[in-house]
Amino acid sequence: MSNSCFNVLRTTVNLKQFKIDNWLRANKLSPNYNKTSFMLLNSQKRNPTSFKVIRNNHSISSKDNLKYLGVLDNALSWKPHVQKMKTQLSRACGVLSKLKHYTTQSVLEVIYNSLIHPYLNYSILNWGRALNATIQPLKLQNKAIKLIRPTKQTSLEEPFQHLNILCLPKLTLCLQANSCTLITKNCFQTILMTILFQSA
């Protein structure tokens, strides 16, 4: 729900909560109010304290960020999500750093694909085009590549190519291109089927 006026938005939201509460009662369901929260998205970076959401005489708590397809904040900056990923990547780099003395490169690649790649790949179509300053902490991927395949060169292009791994910008572009291809293919199939049925 959206509205430029906070008062109208608050009234609309609380009216919807009343309808939701009636539906829950009709279906003999009970929400967990301790786990229920809301987030107010706005471009002006202000969250008015007067904005209250009430359901069945329970005040729903307001949060600056929520875990939904990653960690989403009220400014849609993806900074909390990137910070959480940074923590996971730092731990994975620590594991690689300790194991590189005792195992082979192929094993380190498996660890990378298990502990780092899933976090980089998850929901990248949403946060992958964020500001460079926001995703800068994820340069830990470069550190991981150096741990797997040490190099004295300043450029990491050769290690990335040798390991058959895409750097973060290229991974984003690749998945975007793949999504566009699927969308185009589905649209083409829909148009083709429409033409075929119309001609029949």
Pair 93, 167 in one domain: yes
Pair 45, 115 in one domain: no
Q: Is 90 inside any structural domain?
A: yes
Query: What confidence score (pLDDT) does residue 60 get?
Result: 80
Q: Which of 33, 63, 93 is a domain's end point?
A: 63
pLDDT tens across 69-90, in order?
A: 677 777 777 888 888 889 999 9
Query: What confidence score (pLDDT) does residue 199 get?
Result: 46
Query: What confidence score (pLDDT) does residue 148 get?
Result: 92
Pair 89, 49 in one domain: no
Q: Is 186 inside any structural domain?
A: no
Query: What confidence score (pLDDT) does residue 116 get?
Result: 92
Q: Is 84 inside any structural domain?
A: yes
Q: Which domain holds residue 122?
A: 71-178
Pair 48, 104 in one domain: no
Pair 92, 33 in one domain: no
Q: Which of 45, 63, 81 is a domain's end point?
A: 63
Pair 49, 110 in one domain: no
Q: Which residues of the chain have pLDDT under 50?
A: 199-200
Query: What confidence score (pLDDT) does residue 43 get?
Result: 62
Pair 11, 92 in one domain: no
Is this model's pTM higher than 0.75 or not?
no
Pair 87, 48 in one domain: no
SS3 string of the chain? CCCCCHHHHHHHHHHHHHHHHHHHHHCCCCCCHHHCEECCCCCCCCCCCCCCEEECCEEEEECCEEECCCEEECCCCCHHHHHHHHHHHHHHHHHHHHHCCCCCHHHHHHHHHHHCHHHHHCCHHHHCCCCHHHHHHHHHHHHHHHHHCCCCCCCCHHHHHHHCCCCHHHHHHHHHHHHHHHHHHHHHHHHHHHHHHHHC
Pair 106, 151 in one domain: yes
Q: Is 144 inside any structural domain?
A: yes
Query: What confidence score (pLDDT) does residue 200 get?
Result: 40
Q: Is 95 inside any structural domain?
A: yes
Domain count, the chain: 2
Tokens representing 28 are 């003999």
